[in-house]
Chain A
Amino acid sequence: MTSTTLELPARGEPILTLRAVTKSYGTKQAARDVNLSIPRGSVYGFLGPNGAGKTTTIRSIMKILLPDSGEIRLAGQLLDGSMRDRIGYLPEERGLYRKMKCVDQLAYLAELKGVPRGEAIRRADHWLERMELADYRDRKVDALSKGMQQKIQFAATFIAKPDLVILDEVFSGLDPLNIELLREMILEEKAKGTTVIFSTHMLAEAEKICDAICLIEGGEVILDGTMAEVRARFPMQSVRVAWEGGGEPPAGLSGVTRREFIEGTWHLTLDEGVDPRSLLPELMAAGPLTLFSANRPSLNEIFLAAVAERRREVSA
């Protein structure tokens, strides 16, 4: 099998487009009329709670599943099996051959993406170096800690120099140091022009790294666009507030749509157009304030607002 030559679009132009992709298991619709357009060279967040349909969509892109209907194009061409070589995929269900040496493992996975054997071994060595795992080159995967295994898997995803990389819950189970290491590498690869789809249910992580996102819930895309576009769609404000010795916001604050207590701080989501400062007098009256800040809403707040809006639309 020869891999198709792809004419990559310019940076920022769509490299991957999904049109009306639908997939059901029995009576359950796991993906419903999914339309997406992912710009080249971006880190694109695939966001939504567990079971929202992210993995089904990804598996359709990888041709592991065949969607019931709809079309998927890579660089303008209908996706076929041979294009898999241009896509790197780190599934959430991760695995390695336990009895295989690290270097063989990486080389094997590179070969399966069409990299010739000699080159595959050279690249495996390069990536082991880059992942600070060169000492483990000839050790079996069994001898590695879980974090190290995850780094090997991460390297395997990038080893064939793919144009598009799909990372499903890449940071889960990693310590902060390694998260930082991988985050830097994702940004390095992005700088080289690689497009990264970053799928996660941890919205706070996505917020730090994504240029554009889509929010998926119940198999449907309920919101998508660049971060700026998404924020422009939800121009509401958010207020963080805390009182000395505890305390809580008085009931019936006007203009507040949601209140949530997270790690010692109250997060209040405001209705569009409400000036955060207008709340100050009432908040101060509730006790001595130790924190008051007006913020852009978090992705989490936007997601909740989008879900609420969607439900209103459906019931209307």
Chain B
Amino acid sequence: MTKVFTVIRKEYLERVRSKSFVIGTLLGPALMSMFIVLPMLLAGTGGDDQRTIGVIDPSGLYFDQVVSVLQDQGRTSLDLEQIAVGAGGPDAAVEELKQGILDESIHSGILIDPDFMNNAEVTFYNKSVSSMVVRDEMLRPALNRVLREGRFAVADVPDSLFNYLAARTSWTSISVTAEGGEQEQDEAVSFAMAFILIMIIYIMVIMYGAHTLTAVIEEKSSRMVEVLLASISPDQLMLGKVLGIGLAGLTQFAIWAGTFLLLSQRGVSVGEFSLDVAFLTPTILISFVMFFLLGFFLYATMYAGVGALCNTPQDAQQFQTPLAMGMVIPMMLLTLVLRAPDSTLATVLSLVPMFSPVLMFMRVCVETPPFWQIGLSWVLMLVSILLAAKGAGKLFRMGILMYGESPTWVTLLKVLRD
């Protein structure tokens, strides 16, 4: 065992002391937030461009109401501009509006029918499909309210009755946890947190998994492997390498997690999205660590085995992509599982060892599947790791004799079958 520790120590220190580790530790969160937070920010701010909406109100009754309702609803991004109906009548005003839309001085516009209170008709003028958001999410609710309030007024309904009738349902979401507790929850934040954690697992497994591949190839291309195997068995060497690199990955992650916890205690928020530590229940935390570790070791061993067959990084490329697919495919299946986390399909897919780190963990985040399923996925992953380690040791022993020739899938399978 001392020898394994010697290898772990060397691999660990070599990585932690390298420039790329320092740079990666600093840049990692920046990159990750670019992938995660940026789309959210963009999605949130996309509709917030200041837009001018032309309003033709031949009756002159509604413009002020629409403005005040929009203000009340917080739609500050819309500037309403009344287009006066002059001697030319509404038709001339519509022409003016169309011209404004075409030369882009106006984003889009509405014509409120003079008999709006009775026929509720509004015409929407626009140039691009994207103005649908403005129409459906901003203008329609506002005009609905103007109509409703106007009709209540016409019917002479007293304020008290009006308030009573206009009431909206009030919602609180409680997520029921297996620990028997209950807690208030904000779905958007929970989902974002789950997604961040899954991205962390995904990036770390792919990145550090690939490190073992390069480390093993380095051993071969530096021709060290024969000297090393004169002192240590292939299994020990493999174990030491995978553990050493894994520890370096964990160190990096611990630095990130520590920083994250520090920041979240000060209540950092990005746009409307604030980091919520309450989301991290014990089940989720333990699952995260387990899926992170098991996922890493599963992929690292497979990568190491493939590396043992290759002499150059070029040789490795043909094996690298299919392996990475094991992580990419579940990312694509994520929405499928999210929609029905307890369906048979989702259950089966999330038990596939190569998919478990992403899919089973996603299920844990969104609805906590039965514990036996979580446990089973851990057992299956553990068994796969042992099998992969066995295969990798074999490939390693064979691989040292394969200088010169480029390996193929055929040789790989042949060696494993022997």
Interface set of A (CB-CB < 8 Å, partner B):
1, 25, 59, 62, 64-65, 81, 84-85, 87-91, 93-100, 108-109, 111-114, 153, 156
Contact = CB atoms under 8 A, between A and B. Distances in A.
A62 to B, nearest CB: 5
Interface of B: 1-3, 6-7, 10, 14, 222-233, 397, 400-401, 403
Contacts of B222: 95-98
B233 A81 contact: yes
List the 7 closest A-B pairs by CB distance, nearest first. Answer: A95-B223, A89-B230, A112-B231, A95-B224, A91-B226, A95-B222, A111-B6
B221 to A, nearest CB: 8
Most buried by A among B3, B222, B226, B230: B230
B43 to A, nearest CB: 44
A109 B3 contact: no
Contacts of B2: 1, 114
Given A91-B230, A93-B226, A111-B6, 8 more contacts: A64-B400, A84-B232, A89-B230, A98-B222, A109-B231, A112-B6, A112-B7, A112-B231
A64 B227 contact: no
Contact of B232 (A87, A100, A112, A156): A112
Contact of B230 (A25, A64, A97, A108): A64
A62 B230 contact: yes
A156 B230 contact: no
Contacts of B229: 62, 64
A1 B7 CA distance: 14
B3 A114 contact: yes
28 contacts: A1-B2, A1-B3, A64-B230, A64-B400, A81-B233, A84-B230, A84-B231, A85-B231, A87-B230, A88-B230, A89-B226, A93-B403, A94-B227, A95-B223, A95-B224, A95-B225, A95-B226, A95-B227, A96-B222, A96-B224, A97-B222, A99-B14, A100-B14, A108-B10, A112-B231, A113-B231, A114-B2, A156-B227
Contacts of B228: 112
A97 B224 contact: yes
Contacts of A112: 3, 6-7, 228, 231-232
A109 B227 contact: yes
Most buried by A among B1, B225, B227, B229: B227
A97 B223 CA distance: 9
A17 B223 CA distance: 28
Contacts of B401: 25, 65
Contacts of A100: 14
Contacts of A111: 3, 6
A87 B231 CA distance: 9
Nearest to A153: B227
A144 B379 CA distance: 49
A176 B400 CA distance: 32
Contacts of A97: 222, 224
A95 B10 CA distance: 17
Contacts of B225: 95
Most buried by A among B10, B226, B403: B226
Most buried by B among A62, A64, A112, A153: A112
A91 B223 CA distance: 9
Nearest to A25: B401
A301 B397 CA distance: 38
B286 to A, nearest CB: 34
Contact of A64 (B3, B6, B226): B226
A195 B163 CA distance: 102
A65 to B, nearest CB: 8
A25 B402 CA distance: 12
Nearest to A88: B230
Most buried by B among A25, A65, A81, A111: A111
Contacts of A85: 231
Nearest to B231: A112
A91 B232 CA distance: 15
Contacts of B233: 81
Contacts of A93: 223, 226, 403
A94 B400 contact: no
Most buried by B among A25, A64, A99, A109: A64
Contacts of B10: 108
A25 B418 CA distance: 13
Nearest to B4: A1
A108 to B, nearest CB: 6
A1 B5 CA distance: 12
Contacts of B230: 62, 64, 84, 87-89, 91
B268 to A, nearest CB: 38
A95 B221 CA distance: 8
B63 to A, nearest CB: 73
Contacts of B224: 95-97
B311 to A, nearest CB: 12
B124 to A, nearest CB: 66
Contacts of A94: 223, 227
B144 to A, nearest CB: 69
A81 B235 CA distance: 12
A85 B230 CA distance: 8
Nearest to A66: B397
A89 B3 contact: no
Contacts of A64: 226, 229-230, 397, 400
A111 B231 CA distance: 9
Contacts of A87: 230
A100 B227 CA distance: 15
Contacts of B3: 1, 111-112, 114
A112 B8 CA distance: 11
A106 to B, nearest CB: 12
Contacts of B226: 59, 64, 89, 91, 93, 95
A59 B397 CA distance: 12
A118 to B, nearest CB: 13
B231 A91 contact: no
Contacts of A108: 6, 10
Nearest to B5: A111
A177 to B, nearest CB: 25
A59 B228 CA distance: 12
A308 B123 CA distance: 107
Contacts of A99: 14
B135 to A, nearest CB: 62
